[in-house]
Structure 1
């Protein structure tokens, strides 16, 4: 029998219906380890092995729990996320997002305006020291080669490279700052989520997919 709630968050029930609505959306890129693709979503979901279905429900629960936690965090911060999308809208995840964030967090950000709003707020709060920006530039010269140097196949760390083969620090500083702020914001989001999930108790069948206490567990996120 399916429980009425998928989880308790600080003792408050999260209705199973929210997980069901997410699961019933067209399965385009919305599986464990989800990625985007160009094929149209099938009209009907193919039959799944019981273990796969169990894991998909646990994965979906994590996405919906993250959405709810982000809604509460936004409310506490006085942030107003834009209106949400329909649960029936196909969920498409970029390969790079899944690789960088893990499928659960990537799916939560794709699904949840609150999660995206919270992430943006956390990114805006990050302060990147000038020394960190300069250090990144000095250690990653290969990322800042000029187009001419790239065409010549210049080795930025070789003896034959010249200062003019690398874009000046002043020209790329703002780009580096954005990248480092984004990385720091994501780390802050992960830290917030780990702490927020400590207040969640899951119903049977809705545990984290990596929870070793159930036989289907796996460690893909």
Structure 2
């Protein structure tokens, strides 16, 4: 499929041609009008296809997030069930651990913010990799310069040393600027806020699970007490 920008560019050109034909007073402007109409139809079809693709992408993304959330909620609930203990204690069937809405909500929120953090981390790492690459090149240049200077201090001088050191100095100066710019750019993408949000969501889930486990164990203890009293009535 041709890009919409390309079609729009051709449409603009066709309209210019039509306007020029009108200004010239051409007896028959039909070819120019037909060209505009044809490209307009092509543009409408491309826009409809693009909109359909975007809807499909959004649906797929929603399905992915829903599955991510459902898996996180299930995992969080299973953790509570495991922590609550065995299903049968001293021959007594224990109450089923009920899904705690607080645990489900906290797990779903954690899944969402962690997914966002993962995407932001990928963007940050991409920019940070450029910074680290430039920093490595700067370090290499400085190392070569220092080796030459150290050698010259011992009296081991070579004819091209001065020129090489001068060239290295220029490269180092330019690289320092590039490194500083790359570092500033990378820091703009460092996901500090999302990292804190994930940490808060993790704490919230842990708190909800702890309370849910406590309530489940309390219910089990009450069931054991009832079974004991019934056995000794």
Query: By percentage of residues, which structure has more helix?
Result: 2
The TM-score, its normalising length taken from structure 1, stands at 0.26
Q: Which has the larger radius of gyration?
A: 2
